Structure 1
């Protein structure tokens, strides 16, 4: 079976974990945590970076930082993972789901202003497949209506947006806050793991306190206060050194990993481009492609179901993706009744193909030849 995903190990992960164990510092905020945080800040121009145990944790921290309260409204796409919404629901927010673009699963930027009310507090764009949302449009709206922007950049490490000013910025460096994932399905992994990027200085001090269980412990260890105690709400959001030691090995090989993934992405595109029965990923001119995933958009749900079965019968695991959150069992009765046809369209038709570092040329030939054969019947 060719799996959908296979975690890639560079060879240094266990070495750095061993080093962390020998150093006698296994809890969070040790040397590997600090190395990773500095790496992201220097390479991508993020503000303060705080490693977390997951992207979910980073989103929950963001919801606390912008003081989400019951009744506040938060706009986000329906076609996303449940963590995007859960982080704000846990604080009492009302989620207002936006549709996807017709040409891409990302949020339909043109629909956002009509969803803003006096209760709206934040917009949460999701950079689906590492492809940028139109951040100029979103940031302009946020400034006009005094809203916060929290980038869900779970899939978007090492991808960029070029704005109307011609400046290229890393995804996750544009909004007030941004959340990243290093889950084993992502480009750069630590098993589980995430990061919060704090790009607005007003949040930096409080973010560190929330990160450290609501205490000023980090400031104490830097000698900035003579004692530490409980000063705010918070939780244990910081990861252990074992997680960040693993991640450090990945970061040392980030460029190599990205080159290989992009080669695989372009091989898929080249080998399947002659098919007229399916649609392919769209990368707008303002965005780069970090090769997080390669997906097809099938003709309809039956076509996708049959293709999944055909590939599985031939020992290839392909998978669909999100189910529109506005139709989920938890939320369907809370939704305002608007039709989100593009989100539903991707729910029914989008199919992800195997994408991982060790995918071989023969694997790619087999996968693409079978898809060609399926559509020749």
Structure 2
């Protein structure tokens, strides 16, 4: 079939769309000062801004001195406070919606990206975009088996998922669980990877300790509801673990540090330490043999990806996407998120502790097959593709509408036309 003039016109209008400066608004619903769930959107924002696109960011409780916030501003991204970090009455809690709505109406971004720490905490922002007629995408960084939506909210929340241009999940588990929780199949769903904080082309040298201790690192936010460090402490309180040459270092900060320290004291555990927060991830794995992660809920834990990148196997619970990157007893160990299962898996790890180095080598190879070198740039490219497709669809609607208005007669195709 010959190419029509209208097709040429559409092509001319959409040609070079990647060179057009696009407008993005990114909203993070995470209530922490900063967390692992913030890394994907912030790194993608920097990648977009570096390539000439306009990016406005909204974040709860913005800390202007945080390195990631400073980096965003260095790329000329605007970073605004979404709301204060409080748990006030509903009228105060949602007072930030009006100024946000005014921003969206004034700016009219090409795309809004809503980054959620879970799979529900930013859905009201998607609802706002729906009402304003602005295209939006969702990131779901976690889904919990123990947190299901109330029946009275399922209809509106599922409509927000289905109304998104794309719903991004960090693991297949989280996608499936979200679909189960809302009784829907998301045709607009896609799994993406989070950026990681280590840059090493090969596994790190294996640690050699003078005291011959096996050193495990638990790298996670100190938040027991999700991360389950209390389960690990109760396992370590069993006599056999107190008597073995095993040390567990807890890295991270959070609202339950004092609770964990108090519990460790109550249980009489001596072979642990609380190391606090560190941005030097590689330094952790220069000195530790494996990751231990007793989580109750996860998305795709960055600490697991990073430990595998460094050639350290993970001893992790089978929650979230952990089983999607860990092959049990080959590149790590998988346990159920209960104490007896965690203890049994640790016992098997102890019996095979001389195999950990080889398991770590296999883990390093496998994770490089599963995760690209630059997930943030990959994600930024996805967002640009979405905006380009939206612009092209809008152009086509405009051209078709213009043709229809100027020539309302029906289009007739000759029976001899080549199709």
| TM-score (normalised: structure 2) | 0.29
Structure having greater relative contact order (Cα 8 Å, sep ≥ 6): 1
| TM-score (normalised: structure 1) | 0.32
